[in-house]
Amino acid sequence: MQDPSYDARINILGGLNVYESAFKTSVKKIIFASSGGTVYGDQEAPFTESMTPKPIDPYGIAKEAAERVLITLADTHSIEWVIAVPHSIYGPRQKYDDPYRNVVSIMANLMLQGRQPIIYGDGEQMRCFSYITDCVDSLAAMATNENVIGEIINIGPDEEFISINQLAEKLANITGINLNPVYMPDRPGEVKLATCSSDKIRKLLGYETKVYLDDGLRELVTWIKESGPTPFEYHFHVEIKNDLTPKTWTERLI
């Protein structure tokens, strides 16, 4: 909501750059990584692939636009396509000093610095967090499997729906911090319930969750601890600053 042109440049124009390059070469298939937490929008969860996208923020709108452009151009130029829709990816080697994105790594980095996590709203937002290797394995399978051509496919552990409050509790137990979260106002345009159904990917690719949340969180915390907790880097320019802009960004509270 506060940096819409960045979303458009990365997702729409960035997607077009990839598509055009593919059309000029001998690329056979394009797999586009969409965003399950935003493209489906504010509708009944769990999200299924048959749902009409209803994004409520510029990021989700940009992702949906990139999906639609891919389908149109790929069908015109006879290139195979698959749209993968992962949900809340996390895991070792992710950028954990980013104050804007990925609640798991933000909380873990804060707690390992001896600081309290920041939670927007009441913390009852529901998510399903996908460990990185489960997502990468799924993408690799999509690259070679003929059954998924022209399909939109969720990737996510639909066995584990969890609130942000529960996530903070799990990370506090792992890091050993005495939990006392700092609650901030809701962020505009944030989907409350963003959980998915993985029935389709199980049917098409035999998907199964291999790394469950407790184990994945321990792996992430161990990696950040070994790499060294670090101050957050405010590397984005926030375009729109008003009363709706999170103070965590404008006042650099994270």
Active-site residue set: 59
Contact predicate 98/236, CB 8 Å: no
Single-letter residue type at 25: T
Q: Which residues touch 190 (CB under 8 Å, ≥6 apart)?
A: 57, 120, 121, 125
Contact predicate 165/171, CB 8 Å: no
Quick one: which H or E segment has residue 126?
A: strand 126-127
Cβ count within 10 A of residue 168: 23
Alpha carbon distance 251, 249 (integer Å): 6
Provide the token pair at 161.
């729906």
Residue with tokens 């161990």: 222
Provide the token pair at 132.
């990185």
Residue with tokens 């998907």: 207
Q: Exposure of 242 by Cβ count < 10 A (0-12 exposed, 13-18 middle, 19+ buried)?
A: exposed
Q: Nearest CA to 104 among 244, 230, 17, 217?
A: 217
Cα dihedral sign for 39, 219, 229, 171?
positive
